[in-house]
Structure formats: C-alpha cells, structure tokens
Amino acid sequence: MNDNLLPDNPGAKEEFRPLLEGGAFRLEHIVSHGECSPPGFWYDQEQEEWVALLRGEAMLAYDDGSRQSLSPGDAVLIPAHRRHRVESVSTDAVWLALHFSR
C-alpha cells in the first residue's frame, strides 16, 4: 500500500481512504477533483470534524451564511451538528479529515 498523502497522478473521481480508525475517531485521506456539495445539501454530523487542506483551494459554507476559505496548510474544527457544505474546491485538492467524539 502506498501511504504517500500527496499523489502525483490523482484519479478521476473523489476518493476517500481511511487511514486510522478507533472507537471514537476516524481519520480519512480525501482527494478531490472539483467535487462540491450538491445544491441545498448540508452536512450535519454527529461527530466533530477537524479538516486540514494539504493541497489545493477550498471554500466551506455554513448555514449561518458565513464562509471560510482554505489554502494549503489551513485547518478548521467543525463542531458536531454545525451545518456546513463544500461550496467550492479545486481539482487538485487533498485533505485530511478527523471525525471524533469528545
């Protein structure tokens, strides 16, 4: 298994790969190719989510109307049940996402 987090030749569709899982957490590696949340869709998750953008650009939107721009190296903690969506993402985006319960 290749554990390089920054693939040279990403595939054609968004890929989610679990890296570590435990009783109260899951760490995922995500490679995006411009995929955004569908219109009107909001994530409303039971667990908190910490995301870090390793490569590319992205824009998160929240149901209170606020937006958050992400560049390489940026990380954000999204509390459980904070409704959010991926408003835009570049075709070369690579993320780490940690879902966890406190």
Mean pLDDT of the chain: 93
Burial class of residue 24 in the structure, from the number of CB atoms within 10 Å of its CB (0-12 exposed, 13-18 middle, 19+ buried): exposed
pLDDT at 71 over 80: yes
CA distance 100 to 79: 10
pTM, two decimal places: 0.89
Cα-only R_g, the chain: 13
The domain spans of the chain are: 15-100
Per-residue confidence band for 12, with pLDDT thresholds at 50, 70 and 90: confident
pLDDT at 10: 62
Nearest to 10 by CA among 38, 34, 36, 26: 34
Q: Is the domain covering 15-100 a CATH 2.60.120.10 domain?
A: yes
pLDDT at 37 over 70: yes
Nearest to 95 by CA among 10, 1, 21: 10
pLDDT of 79-100, one tens digit each?
999 999 999 999 999 999 999 9
Residue with tokens 């570049």, as numbered in its chain: 90
